[in-house]
Amino acid sequence: MEVTKEQIAEWFKGLQDAICNSLEVLDGKSTFMEDQWNRPEGGGGRSRVIKDGDLIEKGGVNFSAVSGPTPDKILKALNLPEAEFFATGVSIVLHPQNPWVPIIHMNVRYFEMSNGVWWFGGGIDLTPHYVIPEKAKNFHQHLKDACDKHNTEFYPKFKQWADDYFFVKHRDETRGIGGIFFDRMTDKEGRSKDQQWSFVKDVGETFIPAYTDAVKGLRDKHWSESEKNWQKIRRGRYVEFNLVHDKGTKFGLDTNGRTESILMSLPPEANWEYNHQSSSEIEKETLSFLKKGIDWV
């Protein structure tokens, strides 16, 4: 008996619980506040936000399971026949206090329709304000290990997909050092629904060890006001991507999702300096890494 949408949603709720518990321990100061919400057309979710922590300045770990008639915008955008839909998943964005600590994002999700259409999607990516090659290599190794357990072709394929997806076109730069991204994974690819689901679960469980290693040795690193300003400028680029290019943001808004939960991905503060020019060598080095196709592992 293959996995059901109810079982998938329940597992995602457990993933949200496990990640929130681990992040509270890792932060050591702040805790999550929960906001439960209902969607008028069907379903709802649990939004959890943490702020003013020792490690995390602002972050969210959201679970949702929404359903109902598929909005026309979604049908047209995805070229789908009219039917009821069900979508569930967990979405995470963490903005750190320290400029040396990277922003991290993860989303794992499942979508199905009453006509039998279904697929999985998701990914994890890292957006350092300062790119440190050894940290980038370690992060990508976590993702490659998770992928290789299922198919050695996954990592190179999904890394390229992430490079292409997390690209700020109007800036001609990647959002960060990428990661993996995958979407519309079905059984038509020669893998059963349960096999695809097993992969998605492993991606979800990779988040905490990957993030723990990403912040290790950096969270207590001294920073200056100049470095804090650079963090805010890089956050501005993050905002630009999420509001201009991100399909997840558009999907949430187009399905009448909860706006506060959808936009929790935005940082608490960001700067847009007119025609900003990098002044330090490490800023220039970071910009040189914001391109597609870097082989980190």
Rg (CA), the chain: 19
User: What is the reported pLDDT for 148?
Assistant: 98
| The overall pTM is greater than 0.85 | yes
**Percentage with pLDDT > 70 across the chain:** 100
Dmax over CA atoms of the chain, in Å, equals: 59
Which one of 95, 105, 129, 140 is the catalytic residue?
105
- Can you give the length of the chain in residues? 297
pLDDT digits (tens, 9 = 90+) for 93-135: 999 999 999 999 999 999 999 999 999 999 999 999 999 999 9
pLDDT digits (tens, 9 = 90+) for 163-185: 999 999 999 999 999 999 999 99
In single-letter form, the type of residue at position 263 comes to L
Q: Which residue has the tokens 């490490």?
A: 282
pLDDT digits (tens, 9 = 90+) for 224-250: 999 999 999 999 999 999 999 988 888
pLDDT digits (tens, 9 = 90+) for 5-56: 999 999 999 999 999 999 999 999 999 999 999 988 999 999 999 999 999 9
pLDDT digits (tens, 9 = 90+) for 252-296: 888 777 888 888 889 999 999 999 988 799 999 999 999 999 999
**Average pLDDT for residues 52-66, to the nearest whole number?**
97
User: What is the reported pLDDT for 279?
Assistant: 79
Catalytic: 105? Answer: yes
**Percentage with pLDDT > 90 across the chain:** 85
**Phi, psi angle pair for 38, to nearest 5°:** -120, 145
* Cβ–Cβ < 8 Å for 68, 87: no
Residue 79 has pLDDT above 90, yes or no: no
d(CA 185, CA 272): 37
| Cα end-to-end distance, the chain, whole Å | 38
Q: Where are the domains of the chain?
A: 5-288
The domain defined by 5-288 folds into oxygen-dependent coproporphyrinogen oxidase (3.40.1500)
SS (H, E, C) the chain: CCCCHHHHHHHHHHHHHHHHHHHHHHHCCCCCEEEEEECCCCEEEEEEEEECCCCEEEEEEEEEEEEEECCHHHHHHHCCCCCEEEEEEEEEEEEECCCCCCEEEEEEEEEEECCCCEEEEEEEEEECCCCCHHHHHHHHHHHHHHHHCCCCCHHHHHHHHHHHHCEEHHHCEECCCEEEEEEEECHHHCCCHHHHHHHHHHHHHHHHHHHHHHHCCCCCCCCCHHHHHHHHHHHHHHHHHHHHCCHHHHHHHHCCCCHHHHHHHCCCCCCCCCCCCCCCHHHHHHHHCCCCCCCCC
d(CA 296, CA 114): 41
Assigned token pair, 106? 């993860």
Assigned token pair, 208? 């905490």
Q: Is 254 exposed, middle or buried (0-12, 13-18, 19+ CB in 10 A)?
A: middle
| Residue 268: Cβ within 10 Å count | 11
d(CA 210, CA 258): 29
The residues facing 127 across adjacent strands are 103
d(CA 190, CA 154): 13
User: What is the reported pLDDT for 289?
Assistant: 97
User: What is the reported pLDDT for 80?
Assistant: 84
User: What is the reported pLDDT for 37?
Assistant: 93
User: What is the reported pLDDT for 71?
Assistant: 83
